[in-house]
Structure 1
Amino acid sequence: MKAKILLLITFFTLIACKREQKKSPSESVSISNLVQYDEKNDALHLKSGNFTYDLKKNQIPFKKIILLNASMAGYISELGAENLIIGVSSPEYIYSDKIQNLIKEGKIQNVGSDQKYDVEKIISLKPDAIFTNYIASFDNAYQLLKNNGIQVIFLDEYMEQKPLEKTAYLKLFGKLFGKDKEAETKYVEIEKNYNELKQLALKAQSKPIVLANEMYGDIWYLPGGKTSVANFISDANAEYILKNNTDEKALTMSFEEVFAKSNTVQYWVNAGNHTSKKEMLSLNPFYGKLNVFNKGKIYGVIGKERQKANDFFESGIVRADLVLKDYIKIFHPELLPDYQLTYMKELQ
């Protein structure tokens, strides 16, 4: 009798386990406040800003994609998924050697520019999906593509202001390309590096004051105090001149306003893609009035630049750890004595 009772208990336990497996909870992943996705009912539900997508299991992983923004190429390259790309717009802005070689071989087609997309060519390529930042002026083109059964996915990673949240888009691309494990491994590695570098920066004996960006015409566009640039500077244990500001966008200031705040600035970073201080001065003589121009150090984002392509805006979007490492090397060189800058370069 006891044996029968035990068999019955075992039987019902197995049935209960099987039932539990069928009810497997949906996997919900939050990339940031802007982007989240979850899997349930044999579909992937994606929310990106104001847009939502329901992708059926037979739609993913995507096998043929088109990129309409060079910045997204960084995620594709990090996952080693360049062979999925069949088209790009404005290829001259893409830095990746592998993608450029695929373009030369005719395996990746040029589908226009950020001024005008070649919609007919895009339709003829029959991509599984197109990835792009949302630009309202292209609404008609987007609608035409959708009417032809093409999935257009809007991802505005440039709006993310926390460095590791930009990196976390790797997880989404991994999910869409069937490279979940690779994406998670890459993300964890970058996150670990970033947090270790952040702790290293705290060992510095000084906390220099920093100015960022440059003037365009009569306006200086300074990153707000909660932008990614400001977050990088803070995590590198330096003091940004607008550290108390709470904006997540650039602020417009006159030269006089910046001049009034910059007397004690020691470092000037993200000073465009100029090759020398002389070049900067020829474009804007006012720079010569700044103490940091004459006595401090100035760094441009020209460490990995080739003609119109700049890897800072490609792999640098993903590799938050390397960008932070550059800033730490600039502000606290004694902490990374053997490291050579990746994306930045000092202007002479």
Structure 2
Amino acid sequence: MKAKILLLIAFFTLIACKREPKISSSEAVSISNLVTYKVQNGVLQMKSGNFTYDFKQNQIPFKKIILLNASMAGYISELNAVDLLIGVSSPEYIYSEKIQSLLKDGKIQNVGSDQKYDVEKIISLKPDAIFTNHIASFDNTYQLLKNNGIQVVFLDEYMEQKPLEKTAYLKIFGKLLGKEEEGETKYKEIEKNYNELKQLALKAKEKPTVLANEMYGDVWYLPGGKTSVANFISDANANYVLKSNTEEKAVTMSFEEVFATADKVQYWVNAGNHITKREMLSMNPLYGELNVFNKGKVYVITGKERAKANDFFESGVVRADLVLKDYIKIFHPELLPDYQLTYMKELQ
């Protein structure tokens, strides 16, 4: 009798397991509010901003690609997909040594710049796809490329303001380049690191006040309170001067307006690409009136810079965990005593 009851329990358990809903391949995957995709009837349907795509099985994964934005090189490098690159624009802004080496050997071609793309060269290379941010003034160029059978994929990762959502573009690149497993694995690894660092930051005893960016001419372009910079500062357990602001874009302020909010600032981050405080002061003497300039700490984003190329805008776009780690090291050095900054550098 007892055996029969156990068999019945096992049977109903098996049925219950079989009736569990499975995730359908047609269920949409959200990268962010800007990018989603789903697979339906063997077609990868993707939405990126105002653009929609239907990629059939014979179209993907792409085997030959061109990048028209240096920031996208970070995703390609992270996925170990550099061998798929046949062309890039503005190579002087690309930090990756591997990509630079392949450019030197002629295995990757220079296809112009964001001022003027070499359309004939692009067409002659016969790429499966071109990845680029959408720039409205280049719509005629994009159409010409499409007319020649080239798939143009618009991904505006620079518009993402939540650090991990920017990282999540690894998933869509992985899906399109036959690196889906690598994309998922890399994302989960970075996400785990990020969340653990965020928790670590909460252990800090103090919460310093932070200023960001610098002046251009007579205007100080501060990151809005909902921008990626503001989110990084918040996740690193520090107070950003515009934390109550709700903008996802830069906020323009005069020096006087910034001065009025900066009295208690202890850290100034993302202060351009200056070499020394003296050089910074020579460019704008007003900086010398700020307490943070004289008594606090000032950091620039030149920790990994080579000529015109800055890895903060390349691998830093993908590695949200390392960027957050830099900020935590700056604001709470006692929490990461053995860590050396990756992208940031203190100005002396």
TM-score (norm 1): 0.93
User: How do 1:246-285 and structure 2 match up within 5 A?
Assistant: 246-285=246-285
Q: Which residue of 2 aligns with 1:12?
A: none
**Matched residues in 1 for 2:184 and 2:139: separation?**
33
**CA offsets per residue over residues 253-310 of structure 1, 9 Å max, x none?**
1111101110100000000111110111011010000000000000000000000000
**Matched residues in 1 for 2:297 and 2:305: separation?**
20
**Matched residues in 2 for 1:302 and 1:207: separation?**
25
**Matched residues in 1 for 2:140 and 2:24: separation?**
41
Aligned to 1:161, what secondary structure does the other structure show? coil
1:215 aligns with 2:215: yes
Q: Which residue of 2 aligns with 1:111?
A: 111
Question: What RMSD over aligned residues (CA atoms) do the two structures have, in Å?
Answer: 1.3
The residue identity in structure 1 corresponding to 2:85 is: I
- Aligned sequence identity (%): 82
Aligned to 1:149, what secondary structure does the other structure show? coil
Q: Which residue of 1 aligns with 2:65?
A: 65
**CA offsets per residue over residues 58-79 of structure 1, 9 Å max, x none?**
1000000000000000000000
Q: Which residue of 1 aligns with 2:134?
A: 134
Runs of 4+ residues over 3 Å off in structure 1: none
- 1:28 Cα deviation after fit: 2.2
1:298 aligns with 2:298: yes
- 1:24 Cα deviation after fit: 5.4
**CA offsets per residue over residues 22-71 of structure 1, 9 Å max, x none?**
x9541421000000000011111010000001111110000000000000
The residue identity in structure 2 corresponding to 1:135 is: I
1:96 aligns with 2:109: no
**Matched residues in 2 for 1:88 and 1:178: separation?**
20
Aligned to 1:298, what secondary structure does the other structure show? strand
Q: Which residue of 2 aligns with 1:329?
A: 329
Aligned to 1:321, what secondary structure does the other structure show? helix
- The 3 A distance-change label for structure 1 pair 280 and 24 is closer
The residue identity in structure 2 corresponding to 1:284 is: N
The residue identity in structure 2 corresponding to 1:153 is: V
Q: Which residue of 2 aligns with 1:318?
A: 318
Aligned to 1:63, what secondary structure does the other structure show? coil
**CA offsets per residue over residues 208-264 of structure 1, 9 Å max, x none?**
000000001111000000000000000000000000000000001111110111010
Aligned to 2:28, what secondary structure does the other structure show? strand
Pairs aligned (count):
329
**Matched residues in 2 for 1:131 and 1:146: separation?**
13
**Matched residues in 2 for 1:241 and 1:249: separation?**
15
The residue identity in structure 2 corresponding to 1:232 is: F
Q: Which residue of 1 aligns with 2:9?
A: none
TM-score (norm 2): 0.93
**Matched residues in 1 for 2:176 and 2:327: separation?**
32
Q: Which residue of 1 aligns with 2:15?
A: none
Q: Which residue of 2 aligns with 1:125?
A: 125
The residue identity in structure 1 corresponding to 2:294 is: N
**Matched residues in 2 for 1:325 and 1:103: separation?**
32
- 1:336 Cα deviation after fit: 0.1
Mark the runs of 5 or more structure 2 residues left unpaired by the alignment.
Answer: 1-17
The residue identity in structure 2 corresponding to 1:326 is: D
**CA offsets per residue over residues 293-340 of structure 1, 9 Å max, x none?**
000000000000000000000000000000000000000000000000
The residue identity in structure 2 corresponding to 1:337 is: P
**Matched residues in 1 for 2:43 and 2:58: separation?**
9
**Matched residues in 1 for 2:316 and 2:100: separation?**
18
Mark the runs of 5 or more structure 1 residues left unpaired by the alignment.
Answer: 1-16
8 A Cα contact 2:34 2:49, kept in partner = yes
1:180 aligns with 2:180: yes
**Matched residues in 1 for 2:234 and 2:224: separation?**
13
